[in-house]
Amino acid sequence: MNTNFVSSLQSGLDDLAAKGTLKKLNYLASPQAARVQMEGRGEVLILSSNNYLGLCNEPEVVEAGIGALRQYGAGTASVRFICGTFTVHRELEAALARFVGTQAAMSYVSAWNANEGLTATIVEEGDFVVSDALNHASIIDSIRLAKAITKCTTGVYQHSDLDDLVAKLKANQSARRRIIWTDGVFSMEGSIAKLPQILQIAKDHDAIVVMDDSHATGVLGRTGRGTAEHFGVLGEVDVITSTLGKALGGAAGGFVAGPAALCDTLTQRSRPQLFSNALPPTVAASSLAAVEFLESHPERVTTLRENANYFRAAIKEAGFNPLDGETPIVPIIIGETADAIRMSEMLLAEGIFVTGFGFPVVPHGTARLRCQISAAHTRADLDYAVRAIQKVGRKAGVLR
């Protein structure tokens, strides 16, 4: 055992503890739902989950997973191209493509994997990849990986600053190809990418648009088809990636959706496809059931939107000033990381589970309580949460 290695890790953890920014794990003993059983605490109301549509414990979704466990067994025991492709993968991928409005889709074991597998496969030497400053860590790392492999050129434009985007594209007009990488919904802000303008800019500058819709799939648009549906531009984004770990049942998994030739290329060349096991069939089956459920129950999306609007108005009425937006992500800026974490602990004592996010997830000085609303919440849940946040805000001196 290398004791220096272990003691250097321990001193890093001690530093975080001294700053009050050490993350603590809370263990749940029941399914994700509006209210969950937290080990050692009993029932708490959850305001931190990506279970946007309440599908994590939807009977049809759960039963589909159980059925697949019986039909296909515990796992794939192989990567896709050897012997790990099951019929349920094909059904899921067809449903995902149909749902987000593309020719084809390819599943991965996570959206993180999908983003890394995609960028490293499509980017080549001489390309220019430009990324929104607030893009998710998986996009950032996917571009870093692609750059390390291909020596492509990369750039970052200020968050949603389209003049900056255009300037960066113009400066790289001689690149072999230009790729614009954006989140559909930015997870820490709850803001929505200016997609119609980005598509126009891409046309003007002969660029490819790649969008991660992880927080928009099942959430935005009248029927939950995501950012493109929200703006009425379904079918116009070159490549969409998203997760199965949030609105679509919440189990795990992600996907890339786009032209059939792209998905075929990923099958041939994307390294996570070639060297890592396929999505477990149980997860594929419950995700498929989630997509089908959503196709036949678009009213869930309406409930989610109404709940989010209700909470946003109520939290403003209670004296807070959350970041503006139209999504179910409602961030309440607190400032210092330790304060946000302390407030989140005080809220837990009130029976509300909402996570405080600080540096390095968000910039210094903008630590926040990120509230996430679900269609599973009742109005009584939301009222209770607002009252508790107000009480704790006063106690913590954040609210007068």
Instruction: Enumerate binding residues for ligand PLP (CB under 6 A).
Output: 110-112, 136, 138, 183, 187, 212, 214-215, 243, 245, 254
**Bridge partner list, 200:** none
Structure tokens at 162: 């389209």
Question: Which of 137, 165, 45, 117 minimizes the C-alpha distance to 362?
Answer: 137
Closest to ligand PLP by CB, 187 or 282: 187
Residue 246 falls in the annotated catalytic set: yes
Query: Please, which residue, 243 or 337, has the CB nearer to ligand PLP?
Result: 243
In degrees, to the nearest 5, what angle opens at C-alpha 177 toward C-alphas 174 and 182? 120
Tell me whether residue 187 is one of the annotated catalytic residues.
yes
Q: How many CA atoms lie less than 13 Å away from 366 in the CB half-sphere?
A: 9
Q: How far is the CB of 191 from ligand PLP (least distance, A)?
A: 12
- Closest CB 391 distance from ligand PLP, rounded Å: 29
3-state helix, strand, coil in the chain (%, to 5): 45, 15, 40
Yes or no: say if 278 and 137 are a contact pair by the CB < 8 Å rule: no
Contacts of 207 (CB under 8 A, 6+ apart): 169, 177, 178, 179, 180, 201
Closest to ligand PLP by CB, 218 or 393 = 218
Nearer to ligand PLP, 21 or 138 (CB): 138
Q: Is 110 a catalytic residue?
A: no
Dihedral Cα 357, 363, 365, 368, nearest 10 deg? -20
Question: Among 49, 107, 187, 214, which one carries the catalytic annotation?
Answer: 187
| Smallest distance from ligand PLP to CB 311, Å | 20
List C-alpha distances in Å: 284 to 173, 221, 227. Answer: 41, 24, 23
Q: What's the min distance (Å) between Cβ of 357 and ligand PLP?
A: 11
In the set 89, 136, 168, 215, the catalytic residue is: 215
Catalytic residue among 89, 168, 230, 246: 246
Nearest-approach distance from CB 360 to ligand PLP, in angstroms: 15
Nearer to ligand PLP, 284 or 392 (CB): 284
Query: Catalytic residue positions?
Result: 187, 215, 246
